[in-house]
Amino acid sequence: MGQLGSYFRERLGWESHLRPFLEKPLPGDLNWTFTLGSLGALLFLVQAVTGILLALYYNPSPEHAYQAIDYIMKEVTLGRVIRGLHHWGAAAMVICVSVHLVSNFFFGAYKPPRELIWVVGVGLFLLTLAFGFTGYLLPWDQKAYWATVVGTSVPEGVPLIGPFITHIMRGGEEVSGLTLTRFYAIHVLVLPGLTSLFILVHVYLVRVHDIAGHWDTERPGREKTKRFFPDHLFKSTVVFMAVFSMLLILAYFVEVPREDIAMTPDPAYLPRPEWYYLWLFELLTYFSGSTEMIGTLVIPLGGVLLLISLPFLSRLPLRSPADRPVVTAVTVTCLAAIVYLTLMGMEDSRSYSHMVPVPDRRLTSLKVWFEKDCAYCHHVLGKGGRREGPDLSNVIAKGRTREWLIRYIRDPMAVKSWTTMPKYDLTEVELNALAAFILTLDFDRYEPRIIYRKEIL
């Protein structure tokens, strides 16, 4: 036994390589937030294992994908739990990676000489989001399909290359079987490969430059009294076991949400993205027409570029948040905005449509507005509705004519192929009433007043 042990120790370079790697000394005061990195890597492993098991039964075609999920859920041993783990594990990974990113921001861990650790980390964050986006389509239900229709249509508004990007993402004009195979290949081949590579580089760089630890290098406890193995690995394992147990409980007891098979005709279907994309989705609704590009291109791309270039913009080696007030203030504001937008997006059940601001003048029929629940997506003067679609108080300023409005409301897709506004089954009378009502919303000339739903219906 001893001989066999020394055979392998020698062959594997235990003394020269493995042992120094495992027993690397670490500062004594590493707290639990510093386990997030290992947690992310371990959760990735969970996704890889459950993903492989799912891939054994999954079939990426519009004819079979939905049924394959049925089969996994009902027939495969433990299939339901494995799928649950993969589903809730994905959410856990997004949370873990995001919190890791944010906490390292506050600890100033991106400061020299750790710039590259940060850049690779941002890459891992984006890869995690890409996993979410591509994985979302695979169950091929209504939610999957529509979220992808909306998601892939986002770049379409970008001048010149926009439609081309959308075409590449979808593998054609529409979301179809070609989109599914494309997303599947990226989800199971490209992203896992890239992510593994990025994790290796990330860990290697952390080894070269050490864990950043607390920003105050003078404070007691910074001496290297701990070791990666067993101290830090133990802590990380405890955290991982706790998270994994929670995932198991979720997977076992909470059904993964599922809807009808994709492309079931339902004109009133409301596309919803996964919760961690909700803030972006919500953000898009603040911009339409000529400002649309701000929401679809400027803010997301600008945000990513800013994240990547952060270590090169904020170069002074001061790591405490108090020593970098500007960057800290900007980040806190962005985080608050993301939380706010997410909450706005989640407020599905918010009491919309109980009132509408109208101009103080004789009104054309308001009844259809309330009956058809247009306020589910439109507000007027920022009130009375949700922000899914544009504020209808500035339709006049946009120079829309009655004919245009009727044409648009009758079949929004015919006017803008990628719009999420549903097509309603409306009579000519209703169409005329809606167009006329929208055209009375002229707040440049009339003071607003509030009309309540119960006054009308």
The residues binding ligand HEC (CB under 6 A) are 270, 288, 372, 374, 376-378, 388-390, 395, 398, 400, 405, 408-409, 416, 419-422, 424, 434, 438
Q: How far is CA 123 from CA 96, 126, 129, 295, in A?
A: 15, 5, 10, 22
Q: C-beta of 141: minimal distance to ligand HEC in Å?
A: 18
Count the neighbouring beta carbons within 10 Å of the beta carbon of residue 244. Answer: 18
50 vs 393, beta carbon nearer ligand HEC = 393
Q: C-beta of 433: minimal distance to ligand HEC in Å?
A: 9
Q: C-beta of 287: minimal distance to ligand HEC in Å?
A: 9
Element (H, E) at 356: strand 355-359
Q: Is 300 exposed, middle or buried (0-12, 13-18, 19+ CB in 10 A)?
A: middle
Task: Tell me, rounded to whole angstroms, the distance of Cα 71 from its chain centroid.
Answer: 28
Q: C-beta of 251: minimal distance to ligand HEC in Å?
A: 32
321 vs 422, beta carbon nearer ligand HEC = 422
Q: C-beta of 256: minimal distance to ligand HEC in Å?
A: 24
Q: C-beta of 399: minimal distance to ligand HEC in Å?
A: 9
Partners of 355 in beta bridges: 452
Q: C-beta of 424: minimal distance to ligand HEC in Å?
A: 5
Which of the 8 DSSP states describes residue 212?
Answer: -
258 vs 272, beta carbon nearer ligand HEC = 272
Q: What distance in Å separates the CA atoms of residue 355 and residue 456, rounded to the nearest whole number?
A: 10
6, amino acid identity: S
38 vs 420, beta carbon nearer ligand HEC = 420
319 vs 379, beta carbon nearer ligand HEC = 379
Q: C-beta of 202: minimal distance to ligand HEC in Å?
A: 39
- Long-range contact pairs involving 96-102 (C-beta distance under 8 Å, separation at least 24): 96/36, 96/39, 96/40, 96/43, 96/243, 97/40, 97/124, 97/125, 97/128, 98/125, 98/276, 99/33, 99/36, 100/36, 100/37, 100/39, 100/40, 101/125, 102/335
Rg, Å, the chain Cα set: 26
DSSP 63-94: TTHHHHHHHHHHTSTTHHHHHHHHHHHHHHHH
Task: Tell me, rounded to whole angstroms, the distance of Cα 250 from its chain centroid.
Answer: 20
Q: Is 444 exposed, middle or buried (0-12, 13-18, 19+ CB in 10 A)?
A: exposed
118 vs 408, beta carbon nearer ligand HEC = 408
115 vs 274, beta carbon nearer ligand HEC = 274
Q: What distance in Å separates the CA atoms of residue 200 and residue 178, rounded to the nearest whole number?
A: 32
Q: What distance in Å separates the CA atoms of residue 177 and residue 163, rounded to the nearest whole number?
A: 19
Partners of 452 in beta bridges: 355
Q: C-beta of 411: minimal distance to ligand HEC in Å?
A: 12
Partners of 448 in beta bridges: 359
Q: C-beta of 420: minimal distance to ligand HEC in Å?
A: 5
122 vs 284, beta carbon nearer ligand HEC = 284
